[in-house]
Chains A and B, each alone.
Chain A
């Protein structure tokens, strides 16, 4: 027993044992009961932690879902219908319909179509550039192109191309973080299967838009008059599309003089038939 090695081993062993006993007792008596459905619900969510549901990440939404039986199970945009259905299964609730949504940069102002009004050397941030005379571009409504949206995108779906942010719709999860970040409000969330989009955000009068950009909506009402479903309305010199009404006939694109209307999901046959 006098061997110092034995004493050292005993001392460390006893201290370790005391710690272990203390921790075991503590975890037994102070265990917090976690609803076992929370991890199950969490499993159904994609884990992008994008915050599109309005809660602090996927864990927050899972906890809120279990606690509040009234909460809709279809708030997760990236997870879409599959996530909603599997959550509904875990919690025994009906899942509503969730359409896949993607972000759309409503601006066609590439370097060819429009130009800058200043030689901006400041912070590489749209929010900062916006403070200087409404942005670097001639059009104060359009995409500034410094990439605040690309920075917040959790899946790197946005890239700056030709001075303009572009969304890769196949990668986009529709969380809407970019739409919240854009200081000009250029980015909108649209259904992924929309037929048409208006890629312009300018509310200037036609002549003003023409001066600053060759691809902007001039509010000429031609598309509105030629739309047989009444899906297009022009308000404040800007056309907007009711995606639910649009059937993708493509007539509006034929008559659009500015070229700000962009066809997405229409085939040539559909254009002719429409």
Chain B
């Protein structure tokens, strides 16, 4: 239990996908203008990350590794994730239209999001083969959940920062994307303060 908590905490704060590993920057900069959009996008990302890990991890273990085709990982994962997101969209549209209306715009956007692919690949790299399949599969799922929550945290924090920055007067040459990138860098630096937190707290 403590170990799983450590995995989630590490994924949210220390190895935050956006702010520490710089994956998924395009939605981070594109959809962080408004808080409700940022939150909607993040919930969709959490959902897809967990689901994608749940499907790709067994595929890597039982298909690719068994046949010695580990090098096909990226192609197969992208294919599976894209199909999966489409399927989720169809199912949501049919059975939970309200959730589809809320996530609808963002689901196709994250079809081939690098953060989603990154989580799946790093799960395989970090957990596969260390322990028995069942144990490592659960760890991978929790890592995916933590990564999604980390994305949510980064998006919500940054949409707050951005709404403040937009209201401020800044030099003409910095207006728009330059000041956004600078603020993103400063938010990212602030997350370096979490380094070593999990090891000392729960280790």
- Which residues of A does B touch, CB under 8 Å? 4, 7-8, 11-12, 15-16, 19-20, 22-23, 26-27, 30-32, 123-125
Contacts and interface: CB of A to CB of B under 8 A. Distances in A.
A30 to B, nearest CB: 4
B195 interface: no
Interface size class for chain B?
A: 20 to 34
Contacts of B87: 22-23, 26
A22 B67 contact: no
Nearest to B68: A4
Contacts of A8: 69, 72
Nearest to B82: A19
**Closest CB pairs A-B (n = 8):** A19-B83, A30-B94, A26-B90, A30-B90, A32-B93, A26-B87, A23-B86, A27-B90
Given A15-B79, A123-B167, 17 more contacts: A8-B69, A11-B63, A11-B76, A12-B75, A12-B76, A15-B80, A19-B83, A23-B86, A23-B87, A26-B87, A30-B90, A30-B93, A30-B94, A30-B95, A32-B94, A124-B167, A125-B167
Interface of B: 59, 63-64, 67-69, 72, 75-76, 79-80, 83, 86-87, 90-91, 93-95, 97, 167, 169
A12 B79 contact: yes
B102 to A, nearest CB: 12
Contacts of B69: 4, 7-8, 11
Contacts of B90: 23, 26-27, 30
Nearest to A128: B167
30 contacts: A4-B69, A8-B69, A11-B63, A11-B69, A11-B72, A12-B75, A12-B76, A12-B79, A15-B59, A15-B79, A15-B80, A16-B79, A19-B80, A19-B83, A20-B83, A22-B83, A23-B83, A23-B86, A26-B87, A26-B91, A27-B90, A30-B90, A30-B91, A31-B94, A32-B93, A32-B94, A123-B167, A124-B167, A124-B169, A125-B167
